[in-house]
C-alpha cells in the first residue's frame, strides 16, 4: 500500500496532518457528490472539518460523504501496522469494532459521521475506501495545503483544484478495499444496527 506516504510529515504551522487528511477526504467526497460547503478548516490544530455543508438529499451520497473521513483514518491505521509487519485486515476489524462503539457513544470521535451514514455503512464503505485510495495523491496534497495556508481553505479554490482531477475507484483500488473488508460483514452489519437503534431512540 502506497497511499498517504506523507502522513507522518510535520509542518511548521503545527497543524495535524492526519486530521487534515480526514477533512480533505470529506471535502473531495462533497465535490464528487455535487455538494457545496463553505470551507475546509481547522478548529485548533487537531480538528479539521468541512464547515457549513449544504443539505444532502440522497442517502447514498450523504453516507459516502460521512464515511470519507473515517475511511482515511482506517487506511492510515492499516498503513502504520503494515510497516510493523502486522495484518492490515485484522487492524481493519479492530477499527470497525471501534466504529460500532462510536456509533453508540455521542461523545466519541466518529459518532456524528456514522449517524449521518444512517445505516448504509455496509452498502457504501467498500466504495468509500476505494475512492479514498484512488484519490490518495489529491487528498494528500489538499491536506498539505490546508496545513500550510493558516489551517483554512475556502470552497472555490478546492473546487478548482479538484475539477477534472477526482478519480472514480478503479479495479486496483476496489480490490484493495475488498481485501481489507474480507470477513468484516458481521461487524459492518453490527455498526448499521447500532446506528439505526440510536437514530430510532432519538426520535
Convert the pLDDT of each residue in 124-172 to its tens digit: 999 999 999 999 999 998 998 888 887 889 999 999 999 999 999 999 9
Contact by Cβ (8 Å): 25, 139: yes
Q: How confident is the model at residue 112 (pLDDT cuts 50, 70, 90)?
A: very high
Contact by Cβ (8 Å): 99, 184: no
The sign of the CA dihedral 152, 155, 157, 163 is: positive
N residues, the chain: 203
Backbone angles phi, psi at 46, to 5 degrees: -130, 10
Average pLDDT of the residues of the chain: 88
Residue 95 CB partners (closer than 8 Å, separation 6+): 73, 74, 77
- pLDDT of 13 over the 70 cut: no
The sign of the CA dihedral 146, 151, 157, 163 is: positive
Considering the entire predicted model, what is its pTM? 0.90
Backbone angles phi, psi at 42, to 5 degrees: -85, 145
Contact by Cβ (8 Å): 38, 52: yes
Amino acid at each position: 500500500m502506497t497511499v498517504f506516504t506523507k502522513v507522518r510529515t510535520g509542518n511548521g504551522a503545527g497543524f495535524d496532518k492526519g486530521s487534515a487528511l480526514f477533512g480533505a477526504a470529506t471535502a473531495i467526497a462533497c465535490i464528487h457528490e455535487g455538494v457545496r460547503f463553505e470551507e475546509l478548516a481547522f478548529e485548533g490544530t487537531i480538528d479539521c472539518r468541512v464547515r457549513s455543508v449544504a443539505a444532502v438529499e440522497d442517502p447514498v451520497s450523504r453516507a459516502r460523504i460521512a464515511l470519507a473521513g473515517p475511511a482515511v483514518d482506517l487506511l492510515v491505521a492499516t498503513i502504520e501496522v503494515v510497516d510493523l509487519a502486522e495484518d492490515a485486515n485484522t487492524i481493519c476489524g479492530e477499527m470497525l469494532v471501534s466504529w460500532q462503539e462510536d456509533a453508540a457513544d455521542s461523545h466519541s470521535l466518529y459518532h456524528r459521521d456514522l449517524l449521518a451514514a444512517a445505516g448504509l455503512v455496509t452498502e457504501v464503505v467498500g466504495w468509500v475506501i476505494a475512492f479514498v485510495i484512488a484519490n490518495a495523491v489529491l487528498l494528500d496534497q489538499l491536506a498539505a495545503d490546508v496545513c500550510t495556508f493558516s489551517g483554512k481553505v475556502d470552497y472555490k479554490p478546492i473546487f478548482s483544484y479538484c475539477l477534472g482531477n477526482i478519480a472514480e475507484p478503479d479495479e486496483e483500488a476496489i480490490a484493495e478495499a475488498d481485501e481489507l473488508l474480507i470477513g468484516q460483514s458481521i461487524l459492518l452489519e453490527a455498526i448499521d444496527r447500532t446506528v439505526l437503534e440510536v437514530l430510532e431512540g432519538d426520535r
